[in-house]
Amino acid sequence: MGEMTGLDALPVIAASLDEGHDGLAAFSEKLNVIEDMPTFWFGDAPVWAQTQTSGLPMWPLTAPSDERLGVWDAGHQVVFTLRRGDLRDHVNSALDTPLSEAEFQLFADLGCGRTVESSAEAAGVAVSTRRKQLQGVFRKLGVESQAALVAFAAGAAHRLSAELSTLYRSESKDLGGYAAFLPAGVRCAAVLDASGAAVRYLDIGPVTGRVVMVLHPMIFPAITAEDVALCHDLGIRAIWPIRPQCLTTSGVRSGRWDDHCAAVVANCETVLGAVCAVPVPVIALVSSGGYATALAEARPDLVARIDFVSTCYSAGRRPSRDAYFGDFLVRALRQNSRMAMVMVQHLGGAAFCTRRLERTIRRIFRGSAVDQAVLDAAFATSEGAARVQQVIRGSIGSMRHDYLSQLHFKWDRARALPMERRFWHGAQDRVHDLDELMALSHDVTGQPAQVIPQMGHLTEGAPLRTVLSDIFATYPV
């Protein structure tokens, strides 16, 4: 089969993303230019961080491209770049009268070291026009000279850089800001690996409880006070390692799935070495089955058994018009990985608009009343919607690798493992075919999957507590 073009893909994208004509036109434009993924978000503004090894800044601002402007961190080792419009909005938020687009362009040019004349030439306007605009900038900033304007820009850049630096370096303490969404009783922890890097994980339940490792899906689920109470009621200490590039403000990214998988395995080893000295059960939620298998292959002495929950790897074979977004991405990856990566970015872009994000996710899980009820709870409050946005914005790299895992991982690897393996699947899952999942379970484990009547595909809230309770009940005393 030849490569799928952007034009060929549009009908499938429409079915998967529920985009109108304008949205598809915007997507087709993205096929021509793949923008590197943001390092983190500053409110609703994407931020890119780039390490600088030499040179000192001569001016408060830098212009790496026509679309972006940058500020230096305090140590002059990192440049944070934002889209011009986002930086304009940030500067204007501190002014009584906002700068117009043309006035901000002049302000930015002067902050980058340009003259009024070169700014006019770049904008294609007369120098006299630029000088008139300069007087407007002076008035709105409350300054009287170009030197004072540059000093104003330096102060604004310094304050913004301090805020961005704090966000950029905060990930090991607060999971890129996600810790604010966790209930009391969830311990956010980090342990250093052999290289001295921090490996992040969540620790839930009594510290003297039975240790169980839970590998999260690509979109990190909501954890509630009810989840914490369940762990305490059952005497379970649930350890959730946070995968690289998930809930993160770090710009460190690996392009290869093999490297990413090896990092996940190493992190799991590090965490288990810190909290437990005996083999533990591993629960692999949704897209984490490949990582659980890789861990068991590398360290069978650490894994007592694996429970695959709501796995995405059954790859339901359905017509494109009924395609699950993930299934389409897997097919697209096989044919045109460049286009598929734009698709991941397109999904991430939905996180900028709460309504668009909710509409997109609801369409993916249409047909399942149980999944729709989970989404009702997720979007019931502004805080809940903000949590979903935060998860997607901080996990684009991890989501990309989870989709890639469906290309690289083969179930015969799990079949060859020496420890016990079980599948658990929701009867109300409308994303994957239950008959296919049953066949997969028989092939890998020699027994049928355990079916949870009141669970769909999503593993959070009441469905997650139900399946965890059922799994815990099968553990030997």
- 107 and 133 Cβ atoms separated by less than 8 Å: no
pLDDT tens digits for range 16-35: 444 443 444 444 444 444 45
Of 140-144, 316-320, 417-421, the poorest mean pLDDT is in: 316-320
- 206 and 78 Cβ atoms separated by less than 8 Å: no
Instruction: Give Cα separations from 329 to 170, 180, 400, 412, 416 (angstroms).
Output: 32, 31, 10, 22, 28
Of 30-44, 108-122, 202-216, the poorest mean pLDDT is in: 30-44
Domain 172-473: state its class. Answer: alpha beta
Instruction: List the chain domain ranges.
Output: 44-168, 172-473
Is the dihedral angle over the CA atoms 71, 74, 76, 79 positive or is it negative? Answer: negative
Instruction: Sort 37 into a burial class: Cβ within 10 Å, 0-12 / 13-18 / 19+.
Output: middle
Confidence bin at 238 (pLDDT 50/70/90): very high
* Strands 40-42 and 45-51, bridge-based pairing: antiparallel
What is the average pLDDT across 419-441?
Answer: 91
pLDDT tens digits for range 376-414: 999 999 999 989 988 887 887 788 788 777 767 888 899
Confidence bin at 37 (pLDDT 50/70/90): low
Residue 21 has a pLDDT of 37
Using the 8-state DSSP alphabet, how is residue 431 labeled? S
Residue 253, pLDDT > 70, answer no
Residue 9, pLDDT > 50, answer no
pLDDT tens digits for range 138-166: 999 999 999 999 999 999 999 999 888 87
The candidate with the shortest Cα–Cα distance to 185, out of 171, 202, 199, is: 202
Alpha helices by DSSP H, listed for 220-288, are: 225-234, 257-275
Residues 6+ apart with CB under 8 A from 412: none
Query: Cβ of 189: how many Cβ atoms within 10 Å?
Result: 17
3-state secondary structure of 15: helix
Residue 33 has a pLDDT of 44
Degrees to nearest 5, angle at CA 77 with 73 and 79: 55
Of 223-227, 336-340, 344-348, 361-365, the poorest mean pLDDT is in: 336-340
Degrees to nearest 5, angle at CA 448 with 406 and 404: 5
pLDDT > 70: what percent of the chain? 78
**Calpha distance 280→305 (Å, rounded):** 7
pLDDT tens digits for range 321-342: 333 344 545 555 444 455 555 5
Q: At what angle do helices 101-111 and 84-92 cross, to 10 degrees?
A: 100
Of 19-23, 39-43, 208-212, 337-341, the poorest mean pLDDT is in: 19-23
**Calpha distance 326→402 (Å, rounded):** 10
Instruction: Give Cα separations from 114 to 58, 62, 121, 240, 438 (angstroms).
Output: 12, 11, 11, 51, 66
Confidence bin at 344 (pLDDT 50/70/90): low
Residue 394 has a pLDDT of 80
Fold of domain 44-168: Arc Repressor Mutant, subunit A (1.10.10)
